[in-house]
C-alpha cells in the first residue's frame, strides 16, 4: 500500500467530522472486541435492516448483470484486488464487474448519500468498524442468508472478527481479511548490533534498543505523537488488561491504570533517548523506510511498500510489553447496499461475488493482508507471504465493538490524550483523565442519537 500519511490514517481510521456530521464508526478505533468474545451477539441500535433472503449458495444463473463494486483499495492493495476481479469475470459469463476504487475518506462520505439517491454501489467492501453505523442508518442490509448458504460460522474465521458484523441480531457483513500492526525491524541494523532474534517483550526490546544505540544507531525507535500512535496505545492498553470503552460502549474507560501504564511506556521511549521528542504522523515510518531507524510499529499494509523500497526489513508480532499479548486489528468486510436489495438478480449476483471472493481470500495475501478465513490461512499463498510471521499474533487480535457512532469519540479524546502526553504538554495522568471526561460527554451524545 502507498505509504502516504493520509492513506495510513484512513486505512484504519477515518478523519473526524463535526459532532453534527455523519457519526461514523472507525475514526481511530473504538472499543475492544476481545478474542474470547462469542460471535452470535451484536449490539442493538435504532434500525432493523431488510434484505433479499433465500440465497441458495449456487452461482447466479439469471440474466446478464453488471455490478458496480465499490472499495477503497487505491494503494498497493489495488493490483491484488484488480487481479481477483479479472479472475471472477473470466469465470462468470453472466456477471460483469465494474471495479470502482475510491479513497476511503471519499468512500465513506459518498456511500450514504449515493445509496439514498439510487446511485450507490451494487456490492462493496468496508471496514468492520463501519458496519454497525451503516446498518443503523439503513445503508446496508443483512446477509444472514448468504452466511447460511455458504455454511459460514464464527468457527470458520480468525478469532473475534465474526461478532462485530452482527447488528440487531442480524449479520450485515462477510469478513475478507484481518489487518493489524506489527513490528518491523532492519535486518542489517540488527546484524551490526549483534541481535539475532526480534524482541518479544519489554525487557528484550529495551536490550535490543540499547545494543542498537551502542552500534551507532542513536535513535532506533521513533515514537510518533500522531498516527499510528493511538493504535500503539490501544494495543498496549489491551496488553495491560484495560479497555478503551466499557459497558458495550456506554462509558469511556481508557484512563484506567492500564491506560496510564500503556501511555507511560510510550513516553519512556522518548525519555530513554530512543526517539526524538516530536515525531509527526508517519515520520517514523518514512525514517524506517529510508534506513534511518531500526524498529517501527506500523500496519501490515506497509509490507508491499517496504518490499518495493529495498530496505532489508523483517516483520514480527509487536512485543508483549504488558501482561498479555494483544494487538489492535481491523478487517475488510463485504456488504450489500440497500439499493441492491431492490433487485433480486442484482442481489443474488452480488452475493455470488461475495461468496466467490471469500473462497479466494488466500490470494488476497498478495495485498499484504491476512485472510480472515481459517482455511485460506492454510494455503501456500498466505504461508509463503511475509505476514505469515504474524501467525501467532492472530489469536490475540482485538477488534472494535459494533456500536453505531462510537468512532467519533476516539479522535477527539484518545488521540488527543496520546498526542499531549507524547509531546509532553500534559502528564500522562492528566492527559488521560481530561480526555476520558470529554469522552463521557461524547459517548452520551452518541447513545442518544443511535439508541435514545
Q: What does the alpha-carbon distance between residue 75 and residue 246 come to, in Å, rounded to a whole number? A: 35
Secondary structure of residue 49 in the 3-state scheme = coil
Which pLDDT score is estimated for 3? 37
Whether 31-176+331-391 and 180-328+406-451 share one fold: the answer is yes
CA-closest candidate to residue 373, choices 334, 328, 324 = 334
Q: Which residues is 167 bridged to in the sheet?
A: 43, 170
State the sign of the Cα–Cα–Cα–Cα dihedral 208, 211, 212, 213.
positive
180-328+406-451 falls under which CATH superfamily? Periplasmic binding protein-like II (3.40.190.10)
Where exactly are the structural domains of the chain?
31-176+331-391, 180-328+406-451
Which pLDDT score is estimated for 409? 86
One digit per residue, pLDDT tens: the chain, 452 residues?
333 332 334 344 333 333 223 222 233 222 222 222 323 333 333 334 444 555 666 788 899 999 999 999 998 899 999 999 999 999 999 999 999 999 999 999 999 999 999 999 999 999 998 998 899 999 999 999 999 999 999 999 998 899 999 998 999 999 999 999 999 999 999 999 999 999 999 999 999 999 999 999 999 999 999 999 999 999 999 999 999 998 777 789 999 999 999 999 999 999 999 999 999 999 999 999 999 999 999 999 999 999 999 999 999 999 999 999 999 999 999 999 999 988 999 999 999 999 999 999 999 999 999 999 999 999 999 999 999 999 999 999 998 777 887 777 889 999 999 999 999 999 999 999 999 999 999 988 887 887 65
Residue written as cell 469475470? 89
Q: What does the alpha-carbon distance between residue 313 and residue 387 come to, in Å, rounded to a whole number? A: 12
Secondary structure of residue 140 in the 3-state scheme = strand
CATH of the domain spanning 31-176+331-391: 3.40.190.10
Q: What does the alpha-carbon distance between residue 155 and residue 231 come to, in Å, rounded to a whole number? A: 27
CA-closest candidate to residue 136, choices 23, 220, 213, 267 = 23
Q: What does the alpha-carbon distance between residue 315 and residue 312 come to, in Å, rounded to a whole number? A: 10
Give, to the nearest 10 degrees, the angle between helix 5-12 and helix 104-116.
50
Amino acid at each position: 500500500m502507498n505509504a502516504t500519511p493520509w492513506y495510513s490514517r484512513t486505512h484504519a481510521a477515518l478523519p473526524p467530522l463535526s459532532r453534527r456530521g455523519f457519526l461514523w464508526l472507525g475514526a481511530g478505533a473504538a472499543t475492544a472486541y476481545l478474542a474470547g468474545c462469542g460471535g452470535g451477539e451484536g449490539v442493538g441500535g435504532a434500525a432493523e435492516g431488510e434484505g433479499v433472503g433465500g440465497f441458495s449458495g449456487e452461482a447466479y444463473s439469471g440474466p446478464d448483470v453488471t455490478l458496480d463494486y465499490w472499495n477503497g483499495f487505491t494503494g498497493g492493495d489495488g493490483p491484488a484486488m484488480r487481479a481477483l476481479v479479472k479472475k471472477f469475470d473470466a469465470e462468470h459469463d453472466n456477471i460483469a464487474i465494474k471495479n470502482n476504487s475510491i479513497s476511503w475518506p471519499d468512500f465513506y462520505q459518498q456511500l450514504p448519500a449515493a445509496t439514498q439517491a439510487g446511485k450507490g454501489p451494487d456490492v462493496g467492501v468496508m471496514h468492520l468498524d463501519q458496519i454497525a453505523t451503516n446498518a443503523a442508518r439503513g445503508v446496508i442490509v443483512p446477509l444472514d442468508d448468504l452466511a447460511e448458504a455458504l455454511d459460514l460460522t464464527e468457527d470458520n474465521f480468525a478469532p473475534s472478527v465474526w461478532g462485530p458484523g452482527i447488528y440487531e441480531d442480524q449479520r450485515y457483513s462477510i469478513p475478507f481479511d484481518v489487518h493489524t500492526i506489527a513490528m518491523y525491524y532492519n535486518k542489517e541494523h540488527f546484524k551490526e548490533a549483534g541481535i539475532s532474534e526480534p524482541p518479544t517483550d519489554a525487557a528484550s526490546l529495551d536490550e535490543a534498543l540499547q545494543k542498537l544505540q551502542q552500534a551507532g544507531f542513536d535513535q532506533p525507535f521513533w515514537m510518533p505523537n500522531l498516527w499510528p500512535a493511538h493504535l500503539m496505545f490501544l494495543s498496549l492498553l489491551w496488553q495491560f488488561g484495560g479497555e478503551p470503552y466499557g459497558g458495550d460502549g456506554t462509558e469511556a474507560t481508557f484512563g484506567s491504570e492500564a491506560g496510564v501504564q500503556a501511555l507511560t511506556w510510550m513516553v519512556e521511549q522518548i525519555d530513554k533517548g530512543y526517539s526524538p521528542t516530536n515525531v509527526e504522523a508517519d515520520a517514523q515510518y518514512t525514517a524506517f523506510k529510508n534506513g534511518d531507524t531500526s524498529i517501527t510499529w506500523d500496519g501490515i499494509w506497509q509490507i508491499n511498500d517496504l518490499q518495493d523500497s529495498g530496505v532489508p526489513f523483517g516483520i514480527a508480532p509487536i512485543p508483549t510489553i504488558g501482561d498479555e499479548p494483544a494487538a489492535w486489528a481491523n478487517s475488510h468486510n463485504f456488504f450489500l447496499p440497500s439499493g441492491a436489495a431492490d433487485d433480486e438478480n442484482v442481489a443474488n449476483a452480488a452475493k455470488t461475488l461475495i461468496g466467490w471472493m471469500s473462497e479466494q481470500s488466500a490470494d488476497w495475501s498478495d495485498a499484504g493482508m491476512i485472510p480472515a478465513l481459517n482455511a485460506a490461512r492454510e494455503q501456500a499463498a498466505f504461508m509463503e507471504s511475509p505476514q505469515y510471521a504474524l501467525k501467532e499474533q492472530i489469536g490475540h487480535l482485538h477488534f472494535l465493538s459494533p456500536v453505531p457512532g462510537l468512532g467519533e469519540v476516539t479522535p477527539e479524546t484518545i488521540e488527543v490524550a496520546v498526542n499531549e502526553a507524547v509531546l509532553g504538554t500534559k502528564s500522562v495522568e492528566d492527559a488521560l483523565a481530561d480526555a476520558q471526561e470529554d469522552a463521557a460527554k461524547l459517548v452520551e451524545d452518541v447513545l442518544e442519537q443511535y439508541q435514545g
